[in-house]
Structure 1
Amino acid sequence: MSLEGLHALPLACFALFPATFLLTYIWAVLLEHVEPDFPYISDAATYSPESCVFGQLINIGCVLLGVTMYIRHRQILELRCVYPLASSIKRLNDLSLWFGAFSCLGLSMVANFQETNVKYVHYTGAFMCFGLGTVYFWIQALVSHALQPVLRNLNVVYLRIALSVICTIFFVILLTTGIISHVYYHGKNPRKWYPNDGGWHFHVASTASEWVVAIAFCVYILSFTEDFRNLSLDHPKICLLQETVLIVPNEEVENETASGVESEDVLVIAK
């Protein structure tokens, strides 16, 4: 039995992540946990109850995103079995899966380790999410270009290259302006950053860059929709490795009548 409709996975990721970001932002503003002027995405999810909903929805999204990346990995492996593609594609494909997996892990860390509670774990997760995720996008853009004799969709390749460039540029801006803004900051609560707190313009540049990178991430994942439309996934095969007890009817045992064995089932141990 095959599982079809795999193109719904990138669509679900594209719908879930922006909806979570927007819902959390509106909720945090209404509760006055953040100011409406360009907070970080994770700043809007620092305090409960919005942080609880944010963490739960992002965890679900990480699972969907990881499955999407795995299916993309398997798709390229299947294409290599059918078409004479370069061996370097397999190496890039395997490498991208690792970068994608750690990017998903980083996103989960950002959602579950708030900056106010476990700051360094939160920052590590953010770097893994955006940094390794950008590397994943570049590798997939290269693989998509190498697959053009097969897929014949240059528009998608150009889109993925453009999104990779956007992610790279704004990720660098996010890091540099974020560090500079905290150097000049002399306020009391970074979740409520006002212009007179210092480093305001650098702060706005950093937070706006984070939103741009997040949106670019979602659009990139959405670009896998058409690639998945003609795919199906078979259920995994399960193999029993332990010893199994089989019940064999007594009439199937040789010479049972001659040996005087009564008509009872016989237990046979099989490996």
Structure 2
Amino acid sequence: MVWFLEGVCFLPTFLVIWSSSTFIVNYLIALFRRDIDVIFPYISDTGARPPESCVFGLMATITSFAGFATMFVRYKFVQRLAERMGGVPPALNKATLITATLSCLGMCIVATFQETTVTAVHDLGACLFFISGVVYIILQTVITYLTSPYGSSKCMCYIRTIFAIVAFLGLFPTIVCALLVKTTKLHWNTDEKEYTLHFVSAVSEWTVAFTFIFFFYTYIREFQKFSLRLNTELLEFT
């Protein structure tokens, strides 16, 4: 059997490949059209103008649905594991599903409302996406420790801890520096007053975004070990 068909690992595999492509493809299109600067634009800058805005909207929406599907399957796996082994409070597992839903909703908002068109709504969606995403990673890291060694190895615990720390540390400059930047534009000069704040925020944003991707990459191995079944019950009509 092909490795990505084992269990349900095709979900995180697709998510990692597609989400990486979402960021990289739109960056290349926007760069080719000279709509952005070469050095660290905001991720949203790469989808601010057509035609890249159309591509970004489509790919980011698919990413959000793939992300929710992956995180929901992870939720069901942890739920089943907790029923057998214990160790994970149901409330904690449900909290991860809630943060997953909010993060995916935030991405849908970012994909729908471009930063140069409806800035306030776009920024709200970005905050929802990044904050909920970082909380999700932290909660899943805690669950990884609680389910070890049955759910994950000790090595995986350490790896996810590193990702959680990087995401947590990168979240603050991403948001704080972005709030301090009063100008919304796609091209910057290095001698401008707010350039340093913009640069720090953009670098942190890319770091957090790819931390999400690498975190889901760690799901692939685990998702090979189980499958998900859908049971349909037909109620008797009267």
Q: Which structure dedicates a bigger proportion of its chain to strand?
A: 1
Mapped contact 1:89–1:143 kept (Cα < 8 A): no
Alignment of 1:58-137 (within 5 A): 58-83=60-85, 85-86=86-87, 88-137=88-137
User: Would you identify which runs of 4 or more consecutive aligned residues in structure 1 move more than 4 Å?
Assistant: none
- Code of the residue aligned with 1:50 in structure 2: it is E
Q: 2:204 aligns with which of 175, 191, 209?
A: 209
| Structure of larger gyration radius | 1
Provide the alpha-carbon RMSD of the alignment: 1.6
Q: Name the structure 2 match of 1:163.
A: 163
Distance in 1, matches of 2:63 and 2:201, equals 24
Q: 2:41 aligns with which of 34, 39, 46?
A: 39
Do the aligned partners of residues 5 and 203 (structure 1) sit closer, same or farther apart at CA in structure 2, a change above 3 Å counting?
same
Q: Which structure dedicates a bigger proportion of its chain to helix?
A: 2
Do the aligned partners of residues 193 and 240 (structure 1) sit closer, same or farther apart at CA in structure 2, a change above 3 Å counting?
farther
- Code of the residue aligned with 1:141 in structure 2: it is T
Unaligned 5+ runs, structure 2: none
Distance in 2, matches of 1:20 and 1:228, equals 23
Other structure's SS at 1:115 match: coil
Q: Name the structure 2 match of 1:218.
A: 213
- TM-score, normalisation: structure 2: 0.93
Do the aligned partners of residues 119 and 155 (structure 1) sit closer, same or farther apart at CA in structure 2, a change above 3 Å counting?
same
Distance in 2, matches of 1:23 and 1:210, equals 17
Other structure's SS at 1:191 match: coil
Distance in 1, matches of 2:179 and 2:131, equals 16
Unaligned 5+ runs, structure 1: 244-270
What do residues 118-158 of structure 1 show as CA deviations (whole Å, max 9, x unaligned)?
11111111111110110011111101100014235011111
Mapped contact 1:17–1:218 kept (Cα < 8 A): yes
Q: Name the structure 2 match of 1:191.
A: 186
Distance in 2, matches of 1:99 and 1:196, equals 39
The size of the alignment, in residue pairs, is 234
Distance in 2, matches of 1:103 and 1:139, equals 13
The alignment-based identity, stated in percent, is 28
